[in-house]
Structure 1
Amino acid sequence: MDVSRTRVSRPRALVAAPACALLLATSCTAAGAGAGPESGTGAGREAATTRAAAPAAANDLQAEYQQVIKDVLPSVVQIQAGDALGSGVVYDGRGHVVTNAHVVGDRTDFRVTTAHSEDPLSARLVSTYPEQDLAVVKLDKVPEGVRAAGFGDSSKVEVGQIVLAMGSPLGLSSSVTQGIVSATGRTVTEGREDGGTGATLANMVQTSAAINPGNSGGALVNLDGQVIGIPTLAATDPALGDSAAPGIGFAIPASTVKTIAGQIIRNGKVTDSGRAALDITGRTVVDDDYRAAGVAIVSVGDGGAADRAGLRAGDVITGLGDTDITTITSLSEALASMRPGERTEVTYTRGGDRRTAEVTLGEQ
Structure 2
Amino acid sequence: MSKTIYIKFLLLLIFFSYFTFCSKNYNPIQIEPTKEIIEIAKNRTVTLHYHISDYAKGTGLLLDDKGHVLTSRHVILGWEDRVRISQDSKTFFDAKVIIEEPKLDLVILKTELKRKLPKLEFIDRNDLENNEPVFLFGSAWGLANSFLKGYISNTDRSGVDLNLKLVPLIQTIGTSYPGCSGAGVYLYDGKLIGINRATIGSEPGNSIGLVIPSGYVKTFLNLSKIEI
TM over 0.5: yes
Evaluate the alpha carbon distance shift between residue 80 and residue 117 of structure 1 in structure 2; reply closer, same or farther with a 3 A threshold.
closer
- Aligned pair partner of 1:151 in 121, 132, 135: 121
- Aligned pair partner of 1:232 in 188, 194, 197: 197
Q: Using the TM superposition, give the Cα deviation of residue 224 of structure 1 relative to its aligned residue in structure 2, in angstroms.
A: 1.2
Q: Which AA in structure 1 matches 2:73?
A: A
Q: Using the TM superposition, give the Cα deviation of residue 199 of structure 1 relative to its aligned residue in structure 2, in angstroms.
A: 3.5
1:252 lines up with 2:217 in the alignment: no
Cα distance in 2, alignment partners of residues 211 and 244 from structure 1: 10
1:66 lines up with 2:38 in the alignment: no
Q: Show the 5 A alignment for 1:210-229.
A: 210-229=175-194
Asked whether the equivalents of residues 90 and 148 of structure 1 are also in contact (C-alpha less than 8 Å), the reply is no
Structure possessing the higher radius of gyration over alpha carbons: 1
Match of 2:58 in 1: 86
Q: Using the TM superposition, give the Cα deviation of residue 209 of structure 1 relative to its aligned residue in structure 2, in angstroms.
A: 2.2
Q: Using the TM superposition, give the Cα deviation of residue 176 of structure 1 relative to its aligned residue in structure 2, in angstroms.
A: 1.2
Asked whether the equivalents of residues 206 and 249 of structure 1 are also in contact (C-alpha less than 8 Å), the reply is yes
Cα distance in 1, alignment partners of residues 69 and 132 from structure 2: 26
Q: The residue matched to 1:180 in structure 2 has which SS?
A: strand
- Aligned pair partner of 2:86 in 113, 125, 147: 113
Structure 1: runs of 5 or more not aligned: 1-59, 192-197, 237-241, 267-364
1:170 lines up with 2:138 in the alignment: no
Cα distance in 2, alignment partners of residues 149 and 78 from structure 1: 21
Cα distance in 2, alignment partners of residues 123 and 148 from structure 1: 22
Cα distance in 1, alignment partners of residues 224 and 137 from structure 2: 24
Q: Which AA in structure 1 matches 2:86?
A: T
Evaluate the alpha carbon distance shift between residue 89 and residue 201 of structure 1 in structure 2; reply closer, same or farther with a 3 A threshold.
farther
Cα distance in 1, alignment partners of residues 102 and 184 from structure 2: 19
Q: The residue matched to 2:60 in structure 1 has which SS?
A: strand
Q: Which AA in structure 2 matches 1:164?
A: F
Q: How many residues align structurally? A: 192
Task: Return the TM-score normalized by structure 2.
Answer: 0.75
Cα RMSD (Å) of the superposition?
Answer: 2.4
Cα distance in 2, alignment partners of residues 81 and 261 from structure 1: 25
Asked whether the equivalents of residues 185 and 205 of structure 1 are also in contact (C-alpha less than 8 Å), the reply is yes
Q: The residue matched to 2:135 in structure 1 has which SS?
A: strand
Higher relative contact order structure (alpha carbons within 8 Å, sequence separation ≥ 6)? 2
Q: Give aligned-pair identity as a percent.
A: 26
Match of 1:134 in 2: 106
Q: Using the TM superposition, give the Cα deviation of residue 256 of structure 1 relative to its aligned residue in structure 2, in angstroms.
A: 0.5
